[in-house]
Structure 1
């Protein structure tokens, strides 16, 4: 449930019914225990599990894959935010049957729009390519025996994306530097915690996110930075709290709601200098003085 609406929209496109799953505090992603509870509730009605790697943090894929394999259900990974992130040495997006990445303008590499689909099933990838180019049959004339889609990026922007792949490691390193800078400078403030990093999670640190518990609230931080013409953002509003998706079932407690209520995404652009970071930290620290 804790994700951007683009994760859930395709479920509706397929006339399927989403069931939203709560997060855990260990990963900020899908809670395997809650996923198991959802399987127990819905049984063989479950057709697929769509796992999100939020803000470049990997979900606990071993536990999730174990559950999904037990019920023989396909796993699709929304790795839109996690290009360059790993779980126990394996890249996010490569555990399930498909992985989906985003190259939107704010991602760690960008083609302005569009993204990438990955799978180790070559035949299914060929089929997706066929669909994405209007399902044109291999005939001399224009012939279409299946419904087609215009779901592809241009060659020009694809080339821009391929060029940026060469500097992906540098971008991840800079994102990590930014995160560690914030954690060092702000992590000792009363009520401040940063997104969880553990032994098996190698994030890409796409966004540096902190949670606040105390008198200073996320809106205070966002407004104060905005006064200085600096952009920050709230954590994603959970899908089960969205007007459009509120009618669908939600399984879990209030972890995702608490992360939304208490979280704030700090400026994380790789072009930021130490001077920029110090200025941001100084403004935020002022809220505690």
Structure 2
């Protein structure tokens, strides 16, 4: 916590608005919209998954709709496709950025147009705090006519080229404020769009789709997806330290990178012009070069009570999506096999980080 949250929480209690309505909720949406710029509109919701679900509904995804999506992502970034009865098709990453391969997308879109099989939507994931190629993805969306929803759950505070903030592109973007993100509302998410109509339609669905009438009347299926005013108050306080948190995470990443600058150890790249939030420090360990594998390093850290975690297991390898179409060469599979997310908290001390670094060096014999 930043230390300022309690004053906003007290304001919420004093107003007697503890439900999903109130000044703090409006203020949180306003703070995020002002931070992102580009005339964005924001809708604060119970989770990033809820935000993606509403985004897909507004985008027209329904039963049998094809949705093209990054395979290396969190389950919450794909499950809403299943909620809608859509058909996910998974895509590999670009080794230069570790985000969805635009070359592969363009190649498949060219073939899909000939077959009249353009997807209803494409959902690229901003992986571990690094944004996708917004410009090229928006250009492809304009050219081929699909809806574009960015999963920016992990990248609030990151920037693409020209200082354009992640979370501002496409038809909509989704953010997450889960407890493990750079800033948190304990749980929560946000739907962001430059279209006011997109957000207002989502707002209607997020509040049980109640028709304007003195009684409760419903002509559409709605959802109870709004964020509470209390949680939003936490978010207002968290927004005051967002840039500081990003700077801290970037410093953690850079310290790891310099200390573990060995052949056989690689870190997530940052293409020219990008500015990742470095939400998590992701590293890849090549066992053929360093003599030990990712799992041996993870276990060595665990023995000392230090948690680390493999990179996301690609969705096309998950039992629940067995048989789904996958396009790529398996770069994401290699990242999962060899990759490890290291302790990356904004409050990680130098001594704590030195302990992690020391264990890794000892494990790989350096």
Indicate whether the TM-score tops 0.5.
yes
Task: Specify the SS of the correspondent of 2:93.
Answer: coil
Give the superposition deviation at 1:40.
2.9
Partner of 2:34: none
Match of 2:332 among 231, 237, 256: 256
Gaps of 5+ in 1: none
Asked if 1:228 is matched to 2:301, the reply is no
Which residue matches 2:284? 211
1-side partners of 2:351 and 2:129: how far apart?
25
Q: Match for residue 165 of structure 1?
A: 239
How far 1:42 sits from its partner (Å)? 2.8
Match of 1:118 in 2: 192
Please provide the CA RMSD for this pair: 1.1
Q: Distance in 2 between matches of 1:82 and 1:200?
A: 15
Give distance in 1, aligned partners of 2:316 and 2:364. Answer: 33
- The equivalent of 2:91 in structure 1 is 21
| Residue 242 in structure 1 maps to residue 318 in structure 2 | yes
Alpha-carbon shift at residue 283 of structure 1 (Å): 0.9
Q: CA deviation at 1:169?
A: 0.3
TM-score normalised by length of structure 2: 0.77
TM-score (norm: length of structure 1): 0.97
State which of 265, 271, 279 in structure 1 corresponds to 2:341: 265
For 2:39, the equivalent position in structure 1 comes to none
What secondary structure is seen at the aligned counterpart in 2 of 1:99? strand
Q: What's the secondary structure of 2:78's corresponding residue?
A: helix
1:146 and 2:216 correspond: no
Matched, 1:95 2:163: no
What does residue 58 of structure 1 align with?
131
1:72-126 deviations in whole A, cap 9, x for unaligned?
1111000000000111111112111000001111000111212010001111211
Tell me if 1:288 matches 2:360: no
1:252 Cα offset (Å): 1.3
User: Aligned-pair distance for 1:272?
Assistant: 1.1
Stretch of structure 1 that moved more, 57-66 or 9-18? 57-66
Structure 2 alignment gaps of length 5 or more: 1-70
What's the counterpart of residue 182 of structure 1?
A: 256
SS at match of 2:247: helix
C-alpha separation between the residues in 1 aligned to 2:358 and 2:347? 19
Secondary structure, aligned partner of 1:52: coil
Q: Which moved more, 1:132-141 or 1:271-280?
A: 132-141
**Paired residues for 1:69-80 under 5 Å:** 69-80=142-153
Structure 1 residues 133-161: Cα deviation after superposition (integer angstroms, max 9, x where no partner): 11122222222221110112211001101
Query: Which 4+ runs in 1 deviate beyond 3 A?
Result: none
Report SS of the residue matched to 1:93: coil
